[in-house]
Amino acid sequence: MPPIADRRPYTVESPQGDRIDPYYWLRDDSREDPEMLAHLEAENAYTEAKLAPYSELRETLYQEIVGRLKSDDASPPTYENGYWYYSRFEPGRDYAIMARRKGSMDAPEEILIDQNQRAESADFYALGTYVISPDNRLMAVAEDTVGRRQYVLRVKNLETGEWLDDAVENINANLVWTDGNQSVLYVEKDPTTLLGKRVREHVLGSTGEDKLIYEEPDDSYYMGIGRGKSNEFLYIGLYSTQQTEYRYARADDPTLTFRPVLPREDDHEYEVADHDGRFIILTNWQAKNFRLMSVAPETSADKSTWKELIPTSDTVLIESFEVFKDYLAVNERRDGLRKIRVMPWDGGEAVTIDASEPTYAASLIGSAEYDWPWMRYDIDTLTTPTTTIDYNMATGEKRVLKVQPVEGDFDPDAYTSEYIRATARDGTEVPVSIVYRKNLRQPGKNPLLVYGYGSYGHSLTPYLSVSRLSLLDRGFVFAMAHIRGGQEMGRHWYEDGKLGNKMNTFTDFIDVTEHLVEAGYGAKDKVFAAGGSAGGLLVGAVANMRPDLYRGIIADVPFVDVVTTMLDESIPLTTNEFDEWGNPKHQPHYDTMLAYSPYDNVAEQDYPAMLVTGGLWDSQVQYFEPAKWVARLRHRKTDDNWLLLHMNMDAGHGGKSGRYRKFEEVALEYTFMLSQLGISTPDALAVDP
């Protein structure tokens, strides 16, 4: 029998009316309550018991997936300040080794940090970042051994190999060395909300309170820090959903006085880099799909002095840019596909980089070097491994640095991809990326997995997944729904899927699913849906609205208790989200959110089989959201379909750490889907051959 949580009425107060939450008791911010922990352990035990008959299948899937990974894989080296930096794996080990070689890849290897050694005494380990001092002698790292993204600053002397005694807890992942090589800038977090609140300077060897550089008073902003490629400027970035502000200081300024590039303004988002003593600014000021401007630092706060470099377009969204001494590279979205445009600063002819597949993404990779002719990028498609290429912007030469290896009998020609449109109920054409194995495609008979996200303007990128091959090779068709709330079709695509328009995200996904079935991409009784985080909200809302469409649903770390979470500003990251979801303390936001919140709309009806995952230490979506949702579903649903909760007790938002361990959870999810199709043996197909 499944675990049944006690119902203990709790009043959630709101200016718009109080609500009763019978499962609020499952929230324990200390994560120590024995009753709560016992309930989660019971849920995990129930999930394992239901999947026990499929243990051979589950293990086979896991071994298939990890067997496709090159055991001694390595990244292409990148050049910075006289050294070539890279990461590499050793066979059978979970974590990468970060290393460098001086001047040439033929020079002796210097290991910077072996994450396997650092992870030995922890159930979870994540290296947030590592940064090298300007004189190349010291390394600062940000490490997380809990999974809550509360990193710890530590410093290593690269000449002696010794770790210094310095340690600063509860910080963001990004770090910046100052010019003197004796201090590091970091972002201190609020211990409750986990928001970055203060930039401080830690002087090596100091034990007192670190010097305060900047404090952000507004809890609706995230914070980050960085160093410009030219090394002339240091930056503090402040990001809210619809507003940004950058502050800059001269890197050689001993006082580190940060000034606004442009003070924050309502509905104004911008990014900044420096080139040849001026700021290059990507901005949506009078440009919905953004444009590129330049301005002298001393007048940057006066927009009348900005000069246009690339105008805005109604059909092309400028996503990001990269500056080099002699060239500018821009990532753009055209017709839903990501491309790169490279142009010389002297006004020469621009070059566009794309791919030949129906659906693809060409993605800029940041370069640390400023005076450098090589622009690095990735090409991703649904059928071919990620290909990393260096493009010489002066000569046009291309060097393929790496094709992500896929071990085993993988043949990219065995698969095909499509890029189609599905008509939503209001007439909007929604793009869909599709992939399947050619010889297993049987119109109207294949199992179909529809994946979506649709929030924060995040655009889904088509890529070859080594784990997904285990589904394709058993007859699944995989579809990526580029629904509104993302930014695939431009800024309006995002705005049409947020706040009061949020319902479009859910109805788009439903309409895409119906179109795919009608077009023969999947059998009507073999359709699955999957999404994580805000994508978990998506599939949770869809489960309430159209449960009849799906055989099964996978909701990973789902944001499902929308109203209660957004009412509580003590919950991490809530205040940053008001411009995305709305503030339920006010109308009409309250009614809009209440209409789709998955937890609030669980009904007495049949639901598809469902697998829900969570992480006890999740800092993005608190563990009690999926736990409460499953408890309410158990109480109200009228079917006997599986409802499983898998709570990772040692991890956070991203699940288990480590190169191999993370695929244990993927194998669990695939086993869940195949079990719902009556498949229990490893070699069985999900479609007639």
Catalytic residues: 533, 618, 653
Could you give the 3-state DSSP secondary structure of residue 467?
coil
Q: Distances in Å between the alpha carbon of 229 and those of 126, 275, 555?
A: 26, 8, 40
Could you give the 3-state DSSP secondary structure of residue 102?
strand
Judge residue 414's burial from the number of C-beta atoms within 10 Å of its C-beta, 0-12 exposed, 13-18 middle, 19 or more buried: middle
Instruction: State the CB neighbour count (10 A cutoff) for residue 356.
Output: 7
Query: What is d(CA 417, CA 404) in angstroms, rounded to the nearest whole number?
Result: 19
C-alpha angle with apex 365: 362 to 371, nearest 5 degrees? 125
Q: Which residues contact 579 (CB under 8 A, 6 or more apart)?
A: 220, 240, 241, 242, 243, 499
Q: Which residues contact 454 (CB under 8 A, 6 or more apart)?
A: 481, 483, 484, 485, 486, 497, 505, 508, 509, 534, 535, 538
CB 547 within 8 A of CB 569: no
Preceding amide of 311 cis, omega within 30: no
Could you give the 3-state DSSP secondary structure of residue 322?
strand
Q: Which two tokens stand for residue 121?
A: 């005494």
Task: Identify any residues that bridge with 216 across adjacent strands, giving them in sequence order.
Answer: none
CB 613 within 8 A of CB 672: no
Query: What is d(CA 528, CA 550) in angstroms, rounded to the nearest whole number?
Result: 5
C-alpha angle with apex 318: 358 to 276, nearest 5 degrees? 130
Kindly state the helix (H) or strand (E) to which residue 344 belongs, with its residue range. strand 337-344
C-alpha angle with apex 325: 101 to 213, nearest 5 degrees? 75
The conformation of residue 561, written as its DSSP 8-state character, comes to -
CB 65 within 8 A of CB 669: no
Kindly state the helix (H) or strand (E) to which residue 58 belongs, with its residue range. helix 55-67
Q: Distances in Å between the alpha carbon of 89 and those of 69, 73, 74, 96, 660?
A: 10, 5, 6, 5, 11
CB 572 within 8 A of CB 194: yes
Alpha-carbon Rg for the chain in angstroms: 25
Query: What is d(CA 381, CA 52) in angstroms, rounded to the nearest whole number?
Result: 35
Residue with token string 């793009």: 431
Q: Pick from 397, 351, 352: which is nearest to 373 by CA?
A: 397
Q: Which two tokens stand for residue 102?
A: 């001086």
Kind of pairing, strands 11-12 and 126-132?
A: unpaired
Query: What is d(CA 353, CA 330) in angstroms, rounded to the nearest whole number?
Result: 10
Query: What is d(CA 617, CA 388) in angstroms, rounded to the nearest whole number?
Result: 34
The conformation of residue 312, written as its DSSP 8-state character, comes to -
